[in-house]
Chains A and B, each alone.
Chain A
Amino acid sequence: MSDESEEVDESDDTEEADEANETRESSYRADTDWPVLALMRDHGRPYLHLAVAGLLIRLVWIVPGQASTAILGYAYDTLFSDAREFAPPLVPQAWIQEPIDQLWLVAGAMLGLTVFGKLFQVLRTLSWGAFAFNLQHDVRTGTYDTVQRLEMGFFDDHQTGEVMSILNNDVNEMEAFFTDTIDDAMTAVSFLLGVGFFMVLLNWQFTLVALAVAPVIVAANYWFSGRIGAAYGAIRETTGKLNAQLQNSVSGISVVKAYTAEPFEYDRVGNASRAVVDAGLELVDIRARHYPSMRALTGLGVVLTFGIGAFWVVDGPPGPFTLTLTAGTLLTFLLYTQRISWPMIEVAGVIDSYQSAKASADRILGVQRAAESVTERPDATELDAVDGGVSYDDVTFAYPESDRGDPTNGDGGENGPVLTDVSFDVDPGETVGIVGPTGAGKSTLLKLLMRFYDVDEGSVQLDGHDVRDLTVDSVRDAVGYISQDPFLFSGTVRANVTYGTPQTDEAAVWTALERAEADAFVADLPDGLDTTIGERGVRLSGGQRQRLCLARTMLHDPDVLILDEATSHVDNETEALIQRSIASLVAERTTLIVAHRLSTVRDADRIVVLDDGEVAEVGTHDELLDADGLYASLWHVQVGDVQSLPTEFVDRVEQRADAITTD
């Protein structure tokens, strides 16, 4: 009798959608032969006892799990047809003289098997589930921790989406592999083992007849799973293309409308969708054959078992066979053969799932093993009592081959050095602007100070110490960094402003907000400091977000401040506003301001003009205008005075803009 809820029928139809998501490619590869095992070794150890317990319970119950069908056959022979004497092992004959007592015993045994079997099943499911969930949790937090400790180069190179997809989809894929696939496969295998045990025990010769179709089922399944795999592949591919097409059409909707290209897009999407339909129909065809053929083969097995079995029972062993077969045993065999195909389907499915679990494990391990590019020297010292003197001494730097650098400002587009022999000093308390055309290496210069990267030649010094001799933490503690994307965490205003300085009291928070000119709008927020901002909360404008970041940096109170295009994403008027709050932040500390918009650095104590990774000019705004060099040309651009630009400047701009970056 059916003992587990095994019915494969439609259960895998829903996989279609999941599998379609597997189209992405990833640059992470761990190059391990057995990534799933490696992952289990790294993260599964503390929970191994749970897995072992689940496995043991399963092993113990393999034989009892299939016993009730055998008992039923036995009961038929002894109670209903007198083919055999009712003499079960271990039970005193005196208790079971009457047929009705024998019936009670059979019923009791079957009920007992059910109840115990299900109890075991509960324990098994719980301990196996606990193993899989804990493994998932461990892999996720472990991977996250590794990722967040990787150096910035990693994040320049890899998009947030890709990292997220590993932390999410791949980790979930692993969990599903363990809770669903492996568990189902083990159930299937246990069934086959249990059934095989009883068949051989009851009549090994008849077993040969009953299982005659099994090899055919295995072979057919193997054939089908290959075809199904290929059909899924086609679906994944066409779905990927359809999604790309949809994404394209939806993202470009304003172009579509401006060109009244709706019918054109309709056709394009229609073609892509039709390709999905074709691939889908292919799968429909295979599936429509697969399950019914399995049923037909099973039916063949049942008919064979029944036909030969019935002759055997009535006329004695046919042909080479010698053992006798009773009607009850035939009944048991019939019940077993009826359900022989699902475990084979199940096991064939494991191969497919293992492939995708393997790919997931490979990506997870790939991230975990990505090496850090900036390492701390063993004798690195803490930096304390910072004056804020910064000097760049003959700095030359090229991005490593694998890193593309930041594509938005083009630094390091080619593999040549981004910075060549850059030298300049900044006195404590001085404000220095760093300007230059796109791709001149402005931001890179600052990343070296933050130790997001290390120089190839020369050195960057902070108060006379080479930053590579200092601990990463103490350098970053001394240097505050404000980027062009004012990033706020989802959470309250307070949590964001006191980020990294959680002990700050309310008065200090308000003072910082006031100096950042953010106090007025924060006070107007529905819950003041405790208003939730970010995706699920109040949306703030770019200028407001940047002012909160400024307040955060004020509480952090760094000795050296870096503004990396901090105002390039807000409009001119808002910048004028933020300038005032920046002025109060800048006043008492060394400040390096990278800006593309020259209006931002106009008032700096000194302006360093970079060009193609080299220092081209240094001076104040007025000095540089008088010098009539690169800065002066850039200034003409800033004020829209295109006519007065020298032709060689325009030619260079053109060359640079036309440069093709192929990667």
Chain B
Amino acid sequence: MSSTEIVGDGATERGNPLWWLFRRHGVPRWRQFAVGMTLSALGRFPQQAPAFLIGMAINAILAGTEAFRLPLVPSELVPTDQGGQLLLTGGLLVAAYGLETLFDFVARHQMGRFGTYFQHDVRMDVFDTVQRLELGFFDDRDTGDVMSVLNDDVDELNAFVYGTVSRGAAMVSLAVAAFVYMLWLQWQLAVVLLVVPAVLFALSYWFSAHIEPKHEAIRERVGELNGRLNNNVEGVSVIKAFGTERAERERVERASRNHLDAQWDAHRSQATVDPVMRVVSDTGRVLTLVLGGYWVISGQAPLFFTGDLAAGTLVSFLMYAGALVTPMQGITDVVDSYQNSKSAATRLREAVENDAVAEREGANDLADPEGAVDYEDVTFRYPGREEPTIDDVSFTVEPGETVGVVGPTGAGKSTLLSFLLRFYDPDEGTIRVDGHDVRDLTVESLRESVGYVSQDPFLFDGSVRENVAYAESGRSDDAVVEAAKLAGAHEFVTDLPEGYDTEVGERGVKLSGGQRQRIAIARAIVRDPAILIFDEATSHVDNETEVLIQRTLDNLAADRTTFLVAHRLSTVRDADRILVLDDGRLVESGTHDDLLAADGLYADLWRVQVGDVAALPDSFLERVRREEDVA
């Protein structure tokens, strides 16, 4: 899938989400699908032929009560002697099993391929759409939720191809095939016997409605139970500190007991309904035996029937009556699987229908940036919030300047700089880099010239080298080492067991927060960006480690525009200029000493930093409490 056709127009494409997915990703492979489905259906005819042939052979060869005749075959071609007929029957049986095997093999092969590729296409489509969505999408969701769509919901599709489409079709065609043979043998009896599958179908249908709430109850109880267990395992230090093990055991036991009760309830229904369906179908067979047996023994047609019935034909009927039960019993599963797939497909469609970041037509590349940044009357609200997160902020930064951005939690510090990377676009106002509105620039060239280090130094699974030269395997080793040196990472990296080729990330060597952060910094500067953003880059490392990063920072910031977003004021103390944000507004601006002298918000925050709580004005504490409580 190419990325050009990603943005789905949700308004025009409602309707069944499975059909929607099929049109989108199934149609290009319709041939496999069609061949698979057709052969799977056709395969039921040879599958049901042996019952017919055996009955015929009993009549013609063993009992000799009827002439050997075959549908669609002229009687001249049928041998008249017993041996010939026997050979013919044997040959036909072999042919039937052979055809069934062949059809089935090809059908499974084709459907299997179809399902596997279908799943792959959907997965790649959803993944690509999701990764191109604005960051706001990820702010609202846990990684786990996104993963669950990419994983579980996509996997569900394969189950849909097998469990619903393929299985449902096989069931229907099996019933049709058996019925066609029965019609040909004795159409009157065949029509009467339709009662059995009809009753079974009704039973099965009723049952699936009856069992659904019970399954729902199980799911609910499972959720409660897992919630309880998870909660307790996570809170085990509290349980221990308060000595409440016994009470907790009882709570868990209760939740587990509830789960057991729900399971039992569903199990009881299930345990009853399967045998009931069997009894119904067996009763059908016994009725057939009584009707047909009377017919055969007395030689007269009972009730309203006309014509003859031979013993072998009765045997065929008895075999077909048995063959009908399995498909009817499977209805519940197929309906279940269909429902699951449908909700999975709905979530997949929702994911795909989100809007990706739009790039303007004719956007220009930003060439040779110097790093001048200009915010003009910028205002921004997160979707669904009334209060603006950024409220009419304007400032200008010269190339090479180092600017600190501080303010209380929720003041909008990180949001302010995310515009520069176009993680979001402001509602009003303009952001310019070297005088160009960022919206007129290509996203790629913009992000190329802005290095970004976040508070979570995320490293991908892979080697140190791959992480530093992220997404650009062509980057020379020298450049990687140079960047690592600048970031203060070179020394410890060379001490790693395999130097730059050491695996890091979840499955690799465990690095400390400070070490990870320095690799992340190397990654940001290996491209030599004109602008660097440190977004709370040191807030997750301890004070001492920050000192180290601070020192490398001095080297990095020297010849580029640098933004330091920080909560800890010690980080920005030496900046050329400090912007103080409060409630989305720019309230103060100046150097550390200027701002202390002004004795405003910054001065209060500084008192907090140095633990001089007693000197804080009451109004400040009141404010903090208000904000805390609104959150």
Contact = CB atoms under 8 A, between A and B. Distances in A.
B159 A13 contact: yes
Contact of B120 (A111, A277, A487): A277
A596 interface: yes
A266 B127 contact: yes
Contacts of A107: 286, 289-290, 293
Interface in B104-125: 104-106, 108-109, 112-113, 115-117, 119-120, 123-124
Nearest to A109: B286
Q: Binding site of B, secondary structure by majority: helix, strand, loop or mixed?
A: helix
Interface in B132-163: 132, 135, 138, 143, 146-147, 150-152, 155-156, 158-159, 162-163
Contact of B50 (A14, A260, A302, A663): A302
Nearest to A277: B120
A245 B315 CA distance: 58
B448 A287 contact: no
Interface in A151-173: 152, 155, 160, 163-164, 167-168
B54 A129 contact: no
23 contacts: A17-B159, A20-B155, A80-B63, A106-B293, A121-B275, A246-B150, A255-B523, A257-B423, A266-B131, A273-B123, A292-B108, A295-B101, A306-B93, A487-B234, A488-B235, A489-B231, A489-B232, A499-B244, A573-B409, A596-B542, A654-B548, A659-B512, A660-B496
A637 B549 CA distance: 12
Contacts of B620: 573
A531 B115 CA distance: 47
B363 to A, nearest CB: 13
Given A292-B108, A642-B551, A17 B155 contact: yes
B78 interface: no
Nearest to A640: B570
Nearest to B268: A126
B77 interface: no
Interface string A273-316: 11011001101110111011101101110110011001101100
Of A80, A118, A661, most buried by chain B (CB within 10 Å of CB) is: A80
B233 A163 contact: yes
Given A276-B120, A438-B542, A573 B608 contact: yes
Given A114-B283, A148-B232, A599-B613, 7 more contacts: A5-B325, A14-B337, A246-B127, A247-B143, A487-B234, A656-B544, A657-B492
Interface in A9-28: 9-10, 13-14, 16-17, 20
Of A122, A257, A520, A637, most buried by chain B (CB within 10 Å of CB) is: A257
Contacts of A164: 226, 229-230, 233
A306 B131 contact: no
B306 interface: no
B311 interface: yes
A606 to B, nearest CB: 16
A104 interface: yes
Given A103-B293, A137-B260, A287-B112, A574 B159 contact: no
B599 interface: no
Interface string A108-120: 0011001100110
Contacts of B505: 248
Contacts of B248: 148
B229 A536 contact: no
Contacts of A104: 290
B71 to A, nearest CB: 19
A331 B314 CA distance: 12
Contacts of B315: 76, 331
Interface string B39-60: 0000000010010001001100
Contact of B116 (A147, A255, A284): A284
B249 interface: yes
Nearest to B246: A145
- Size range of the interface on A? 35 or more
A438 B109 contact: no
Given A106-B293, A144-B232, A571-B408, A544 B628 contact: yes
B97 A140 contact: no
Interface residues of B, number: 184
Nearest to B249: A145
Given A119-B275, A253-B135, A653-B548, A247 B100 contact: no
Contacts of A650: 547-548, 551
B593 to A, nearest CB: 12
Contacts of B298: 100
B610 to A, nearest CB: 5
A1 B322 contact: yes
Contacts of A20: 155
Interface in B231-279: 231-245, 248-249, 252-253, 256-257, 259-260, 263-264, 267-268, 270-272, 274-276, 278-279
Contacts of B510: 407, 661-663
Of B259, B326, B512, B625, most buried by chain A (CB within 10 Å of CB) is: B512
B108 A288 contact: yes
A536 B267 contact: no
A88 interface: no
A39 interface: no
A327 B279 contact: no
A260 B443 contact: yes
B611 A5 contact: no
A515 interface: no
Contacts of A287: 108, 112
Interface string A564-591: 0000000111111101100000000000
